[in-house]
Structure 1
Amino acid sequence: MTPRQSATEIARQLREAGYVAYFAGGSVRDKILGQEPKDYDIATSATPAEVLKLFPKANEVGAHFGVIIVRHHGHHIEVATFRTDGSYKDGRRPEAVTFSTPEEDAQRRDFTINGLFEDPEKGEVIDFVGGQADLSSEVLRAIGDPVARFTEDSLRLLRAIRFATRFGFTIEPATWQAITEQAGLLQRISPERIRDELSRIITCPNRAKGLDLLVESGLIAQFIPEVLALIGCEQPPQWHPEGDVYVHTRIMLDMLGPEAPLELCLAVLLHDIAKPPTQTFDKEADRIRFNGHDALGATMAEDILRRLKYPNQVIEDVSFMVSRHMQFMNVQQMRTAKVKRFMSAPTFPQELELHRVDCASSNGFTDNLEFLIEKREEFANEPLIPPPLITGRDLIEQGLKPSPRFKEILESAQTEQLEGRLKDREQALEWMKGQI
């Protein structure tokens, strides 16, 4: 059973019990746009107690706000009573709610495109806020007074950017003005919620526009102000004819595939984050330099992502990719063993894509990319890092006591193995005796 079928069945039971029940919000919007809704919410005249009476196994975790979660054939359908919201003292959730009518319920929602209802039985759209016209015109508009909407729930500031990015819509002037004037309200929102919205924006295929909107609105200054320093940070024109570091970064984001994973998108966003603080002007060579921006960038990326409460693995992967992005220029000079170790990192496929868009957005060089792709094919039939031919136990059996020399011999043995000079254990044991 599909999510829509489950939601339709729940709505049917509500209607047969004498209540009004509509599909609400995103599912209605997405259907009008010709997209398959990921989930369905139901708005109803039934109170939480009445919903629970019909669905006694439902989850009443949001009953205080008029929300009940009904489980049906593996789907979780949110059933919310038509309501108006009280004051929002924390800038996120209302202190109290009052059950009301569909018309009043629509007025409390964030944007007109999200304020639509659909009659599940007839398929008719019920529009009290002009959402259909805005969908047709590709406009994102706050319902009612935009300042009031953003003051009530300040996360809506970022949600506006996300919807405009996702759908390619234009934010209408009054709504945009309210976003820019009220950007500081984002300070009331937890880092975790900001992180979740940023992740959705940066992984959207239209992510470059999303970054522009975050910058132009002043919102990014509230949580990653370091990005603003990229604007106007000049680069050597012989390597970066495209422009400053910000232009370079946004072009890279635009070049990523539509399904680019979060870690890669964040690594692209932050790969040159340390260029402004490391920028120097070499007068003798008449060029701009950014010595050490990869190492400092890894530290800055870690600080930024930790500030936004990203999971440790995401932080580790992104900072690692940032730390290594300049090493690609040297891969053709690396020994085979070093190339194999370089390529064996779990993040290497994403790093290769980062390198691709890094070059494609600037100097256009593809030599190192092509070299690594060839090596990947060459090494495809065997593990990049095979099991070792000798171990520490072999060294102990030869009378060597545990010491730093252990590590040196084992690393040398691995290098010889990766280079193809040691092909089997017998060979390796003979080689080992010569090292002791």
Structure 2
Amino acid sequence: MKPPFLKAYPLLEQIEDSGFEAYFVGGSVRDFLLNREISDVDIATSATPSEIKGIFPKTVDVGIAHGTVMVLYQGETYEVTTFRSESEYQDFRRPNEVTFIRSLEEDLRRRDFTMNAIAMNKKGEIIDPFDGQAAIKNKVIQTVGLADERFHEDALRMMRALRFASQLAFTIEPKTLLALKENGKLLEKISVERITIEFEKLLLGVDSRRAMKLLLETGLFQYLPGFEKKEEGLTTFLSYNMGSSFSIEEHWVLLLHLFGVLPQETEAFLRKWKLPLQKIRRVKNGVYWFHQRLARDLSIYDLYTAQRELAMSTEKLYHVLMKQDDNRSIESLEEKFRSMPIKNRSELAVTGRDLMDWYEKNGGPWIEERLLSIEKAVLKGEVFNRKDEIKEWLFICNRP
């Protein structure tokens, strides 16, 4: 048994010692069977939330209405959820009613895909009533029971299917695939934030191209924010090999370019996806410099302004777009950056205070203008980055 399970082992013991059943469930068991890295370990139990709170001294009610209690144990947090069954779903997201039950199999029956409907006890024995291990062995994504029912219960499961196809390089079982094609409109009932999480994970998966093809094939792309008429751009995107080495911001930059979204339109487009403002700013900067690179080679001042990380990112994306595999331009930019006499303004030998003293003037916009001219001169090699030489250069050039 792997370390994440061993650390959580005492929780299962304590729950069982109190007279209840307890199992590891969900993604952690799936990833264990796939020999993938295990992140969060979730536990399912026959104990009710109040019974779990009576067993463990430190708990947090993170989703107690749906049977989930977070247990704090030896510096780690574990979500412990009571076996439950669910009534009809009122909004394709949440059940009208949750009923706590004592049956593990009935609890597993309500889950999305067979590969996620597997449990493991403290001895490492697998409980697999819906043949999830066979699905994992065959690399197939298949719903537990009828796909139409699962997707009507929670329409986000459709995006999760594509996300898993990307992350695990699995195919989608034919009936599940047909249900994806027939139920796409249900995504309109799902919050943008939840869709965004799944879509960005999809983009970063090891087989994202497979998932993007499925996004087009099923027609689900039509229900993503701003993607309604972007089939051509998405199809073109498939011809580029981004790979997992590219950041999510870099994926957005290329997508926006292929969609024909202009730099000044970037923020409005990304706000539809409810992205955090900091991420929107990073993508906007990426889009701006990508358009600059499409127009010309980046100069030493461009490199100074964009800074190393953004300039290198821009150059990488340019090579992807041009379908070039030429590292010489990347190496050239690296050499330019290393040879720059200053990398940022903090390294400039003069400050705004120096300028005010030399010209005997109060502060104002003129200081920023003068500092910019000094930066450019230093970067071009017109003057050395030394205070006395900069002062002489300023006055010789008769700068007021």
Given the two structures, how large is their TM-score scaled by the length of structure 2? Answer: 0.90
Q: Partner residue of 1:272? A: 258
Aligned pairs for 1:302-321 within 5 A: 302-321=267-286
SS in 2 for 1:70: strand
**Distance (whole Å) between structure 2 residues aligned to residue 365 and residue 2 of structure 1:** 43
Percent of aligned pairs with the same amino acid: 33
Matched, 1:410 2:371: yes
**Distance (whole Å) between structure 2 residues aligned to residue 332 and residue 170 of structure 1:** 42
Residues 180 and 218 in structure 1, CA contact (< 8 A), matched pair in contact too: yes
Q: Partner residue of 2:312? A: 349
Quote how far apart the aligned CAs of 1:350 are.
2.4
Aligned pairs for 1:64-79 within 5 A: 64-79=65-80
SS in 1 for 2:36: coil
AA at the equivalent of 1:111: F
Unmatched 5+ stretches in structure 1? 232-244, 275-295
Residues 355 and 369 in structure 1, CA contact (< 8 A), matched pair in contact too: no
SS in 2 for 1:84: strand
SS in 2 for 1:310: coil
Q: Partner residue of 2:242? A: 255
Q: Partner residue of 2:287? A: 322
Quote how far apart the aligned CAs of 1:410 are.
2.8
Q: Partner residue of 1:279? A: none
**Distance (whole Å) between structure 1 residues aligned to residue 209 and residue 368 of structure 2:** 46
Matched, 1:431 2:393: yes
Residues 331 and 339 in structure 1, CA contact (< 8 A), matched pair in contact too: no
AA at the equivalent of 2:239: I
Greater mean deviation of Cα atoms: 296-305 or 201-210 = 296-305
Residues 92 and 155 in structure 1, CA contact (< 8 A), matched pair in contact too: yes
SS in 2 for 1:68: strand
Quote how far apart the aligned CAs of 1:209 are.
2.0
Quote how far apart the aligned CAs of 1:255 are.
3.3
**Distance (whole Å) between structure 2 residues aligned to residue 333 and residue 33 of structure 1:** 45
- Going from structure 1 to structure 2, the CA distance change for 1:146 and 1:200 (only over 3 Å counts) comes to same
Q: Partner residue of 1:387? A: 347
Aligned pairs for 1:369-384 within 5 A: 369-379=330-340, 383-384=343-344
- Going from structure 1 to structure 2, the CA distance change for 1:211 and 1:228 (only over 3 Å counts) comes to farther
Quote how far apart the aligned CAs of 1:317 are.
0.9
Quote how far apart the aligned CAs of 1:399 are.
4.1
Matched, 1:102 2:104: yes
Residues 186 and 222 in structure 1, CA contact (< 8 A), matched pair in contact too: yes
Greater mean deviation of Cα atoms: 95-104 or 397-406 = 397-406
Q: Partner residue of 1:179? A: 180
Given the two structures, how large is their TM-score scaled by the length of structure 1? Answer: 0.83
Quote how far apart the aligned CAs of 1:43 are.
1.2
Quote how far apart the aligned CAs of 1:2 are.
4.5
**Distance (whole Å) between structure 1 residues aligned to residue 53 and residue 346 of structure 2:** 59
Q: Deviations over 1:47-80 (max 9, x none)?
A: 1121111113212232221111111112211111
Aligned pairs for 1:112-151 within 5 A: 112-121=114-123, 123-151=124-152
- Going from structure 1 to structure 2, the CA distance change for 1:54 and 1:364 (only over 3 Å counts) comes to closer
- Going from structure 1 to structure 2, the CA distance change for 1:77 and 1:392 (only over 3 Å counts) comes to closer
**Distance (whole Å) between structure 2 residues aligned to residue 364 and residue 302 of structure 1:** 31
**Distance (whole Å) between structure 2 residues aligned to residue 94 and residue 333 of structure 1:** 55
**Distance (whole Å) between structure 2 residues aligned to residue 204 and residue 66 of structure 1:** 31
AA at the equivalent of 2:223: Q
Quote how far apart the aligned CAs of 1:90 are.
2.3
**Distance (whole Å) between structure 2 residues aligned to residue 384 and residue 393 of structure 1:** 18
Give the CA RMSD over aligned residues: 2.5
Residues 202 and 266 in structure 1, CA contact (< 8 A), matched pair in contact too: no
Residues 85 and 99 in structure 2, CA contact (< 8 A), matched pair in contact too: yes
- Going from structure 1 to structure 2, the CA distance change for 1:333 and 1:268 (only over 3 Å counts) comes to closer
Q: Partner residue of 2:113? A: 111
**Distance (whole Å) between structure 1 residues aligned to residue 318 and residue 337 of structure 2:** 15
**Distance (whole Å) between structure 1 residues aligned to residue 361 and residue 231 of structure 2:** 54
Matched, 1:9 2:10: yes
Residues 340 and 418 in structure 1, CA contact (< 8 A), matched pair in contact too: no
Q: Deviations over 1:282-324 (max 9, x none)?
A: xxxxxxxxxxxxxx52234322221111111111111221122
SS in 2 for 1:325: helix
Residues 85 and 94 in structure 1, CA contact (< 8 A), matched pair in contact too: yes
Residues 356 and 366 in structure 1, CA contact (< 8 A), matched pair in contact too: no
Quote how far apart the aligned CAs of 1:143 are.
0.9
Residues 118 and 124 in structure 1, CA contact (< 8 A), matched pair in contact too: yes
**Distance (whole Å) between structure 1 residues aligned to residue 380 and residue 161 of structure 2:** 54
Quote how far apart the aligned CAs of 1:272 are.
2.4
- Going from structure 1 to structure 2, the CA distance change for 1:392 and 1:251 (only over 3 Å counts) comes to same
Residues 166 and 203 in structure 2, CA contact (< 8 A), matched pair in contact too: no
AA at the equivalent of 1:373: E
**Distance (whole Å) between structure 1 residues aligned to residue 228 and residue 342 of structure 2:** 42
Unmatched 5+ stretches in structure 2? none
Quote how far apart the aligned CAs of 1:108 are.
0.6
AA at the equivalent of 1:107: R
Quote how far apart the aligned CAs of 1:10 are.
0.3
Quote how far apart the aligned CAs of 1:156 are.
0.7
SS in 1 for 2:347: coil
